[in-house]
Structure 1
């Protein structure tokens, strides 16, 4: 049983898991439509006071681990059904040395954030998209996965239990990390006999050390982030360690991050180590198509929809690296990075500078997106959920 104070016990009891009305979903498009209705089933907001903040230097908050109070855990065995999860104090996880995640990398993760409004309410953003993406990744890696309803409910519980760790508006966000791992022991190469769904949270500031300053990217043509037929299009934990060498080499030379090319031809843009990329030319915004090697970012999709709503032409297509030389503006998107302008890109000793001056397109789109996330702009799309 979870050990908690009376306040948290009441919270846990008031946040009963949403029961899924279906046992199987035939297509991923059904996930999103059914999850949309779940987003309307929101918890009643707590009353707000300044005393609810944790003791954190909000003005100097970087992107690192500052563990919030509680984490969420839910398990399933070989039947593929996840039992009711529970909140517990943040702490270490007990794993067998033969757990599939440790031996064969059978694991996925997601990233989402809780946003503080001006009057202290908490908003979550497009959780159905994160839940859908985890479903797709679990299918790719042969893993059992929580339902979309279970995912959304678990994130809501975690965010609300850790409300005091959500920074004041304009000071940062509460980053929430759902994990799905093969926790069951296995020796031969096979799917795990047990899976664990975990969520923890940490208050964060800007992802890049430059803060809101434009990024300086380096185009990598030796190492590759993903290959056709691989797992680059899902948020597998195995996608990220391989980029560390290229990142470290680029950062030692003064660059912010690495922009990768396709592994087949070393010709078309893919994505940055942990975010998607966009090019602007006149009224047209282009971004690499998600054709299996590129992650379908939630922020990416949101920026595309906002741009279309505001009269821009958006093209999802193969983008030759040479087009970098002629772009008016370049920017990156991701849950962690938000919308980050790119100041320069270096490719084979050619360095190109981009517009980061008066009213760049990325800033316009970023302002609208952040306004929706923080309740400043009316959410007419049903993207946010108040807890």
Structure 2
């Protein structure tokens, strides 16, 4: 079915920030998408309105029971001025998986894509054109029923906001240092670790604070049962090049199935590189690093695309990977993925959606 999306244009367009000031998630475009859900009526009243605060009852369930999910993707401007989205249907599929886990009603795929594309078109002049810049898009759902009772909400808001973002690697792609967390646990199989929900990120803040205080960029989580198997970095999936093959933790229901992760696996196999998805004991990585078998490590995610890892810290031992430099495979993946996203390279997988 076609959805009639109302449009109310802003009467007071914002002044756009300089590209050098963008950073990540600091500024927001002139408009936002919003839609309501009511039990018995379903999703209704899709509309694009001026970016504005929202008003919620103090008893709204999102505040008390954490019923909320979100997604993150980007719009890219090509050198010729075209606008492209990277695998948006995968974001919708994952959003609905998160919705299902949090007992939130499913969102229609056609509506999701129409809302997304319509909003991007309305605020297309917010998409920066400088190299490696983009427009970050944040769809999310919150439970709004004003009722203090532990049960799924009967009212929701689905919204999309957007933020122009600068180059993640303004000074070139550089390796990060990662602290392996062996005390705190973020998620376990059967929990909500595989859903993109706010509580997962709140659960990681304490460990992130500790890692930052020690000079590390992010936290690498171990499984919550054995405290032995590598899972994911706070905002990225993680890969390791052991000899001539690449290994990455198998999806087990306790961490996020990343879209960039899936794309990297497809690219690596397309290049004829063996990829193993399996449980990875941290002791295996420690030994591989000591012996020199661990050639590279990198994270994958929407924000950085590919983030090389130059050092791991585990139980007070510092493990330098690949001399602390960006490895050739990490660089090739970054160049190829961003090349596809910005239209500099061919897209053999049909990932990009042109607006």
TM-score, normalised to structure 1's length?
0.84
Partner of 2:16: 55
- Asked if structure 1 preserves the Cα contact closer than 8 Å seen for 2:174 and 2:326, the reply is no
- Give 1:314's aligned residue: 275
Using the alignment, how far apart are the partners of 2:132 and 2:245 within structure 1? 32
Give 1:3's aligned residue.
Answer: 8
**CA deviation string 1:124-145 (max 9, x = no partner):** 0101110001111111111112
More off after superposition, 66-75 vs 79-88: 79-88
Which whole-Å CA distance do the structure 1 matches of 2:230 and 2:325 have between them? 24
Runs of 4+ off more than 4 Å: 206-211, 356-359
- Structure 1 unaligned runs (5+)? 9-52
Alignment RMSD (CA, Å): 2.1
Shift of 1:206: 4.8
Residues 220 and 260 of structure 1 are in contact (CA less than 8 Å); yes or no, is this contact kept in structure 2?
Answer: yes
- When structure 1 is superposed on structure 2, of 361-370 and 154-163 the one drifting more is 154-163
CA distance, structure 1, for counterparts of residue 59 and residue 194 of structure 2: 27
Match status 1:229 vs 2:190: yes
> Retained in 2: the 8 A contact 1:269–1:321?
yes
Structure 2 residue runs without a partner (length 5+): 1-5, 289-293
Do structure 1's residue 339 and structure 2's residue 286 form an aligned pair? no
- How far apart are the structure 2 equivalents of 1:374 and 1:266? 40
* Cα gap change, 1:219 to 1:358, in 2 (>3 Å): closer
1:75 to 36, 41, 45: 36
What secondary structure, in the 3-state scheme, does the structure 1 residue paired with 2:153 have?
A: coil
**2:3 match:** none
TM-score by length of 2: 0.91
In structure 2, how many angstroms separate the alpha carbons of the residues matched to 1:189 and 1:298?
32
In 1, the alpha carbon distance for the partners of 2:334 and 2:15 equals 28
Q: Which moved more, 1:207-216 or 1:65-74?
A: 207-216
Tell me by how many angstroms 1:358 deviates: 7.2
2:31·2:50 contact (CA, 8 Å) conserved in 1? yes
What residue number does 2:108 align with?
A: 147
CA distance in 1, matches of 2:326, 2:299: 18
1:297 pairs with 2:258: yes
Paired residue total: 342
Could you say which residue in structure 2 is the equivalent of 1:127? Answer: 88
User: Does 1:373 find its partner at 2:341?
Assistant: yes
Distance in 2 (alpha carbons) for counterparts of 1:358 and 1:94: 46
Query: SS in structure 1 opposite 2:255?
Result: coil
Q: Where does 1:16-95 land on structure 2 (aligned, <5 Å)?
A: 55-79=16-40, 81-95=42-56
Q: Which residue of 2 aligns with 1:329?
A: 296
Contact 2:10 2:50 in 1 (8 A): no
Contact kept in structure 1, 2:311 and 2:320, CA below 8 Å: yes
Q: Which residue pairs with 1:277 in the alignment?
A: 238
2:208 and 2:351 mapped to 1: Cα distance? Answer: 33
- Contact 1:59 / 1:171 at 8 angstroms: preserved in 2? no
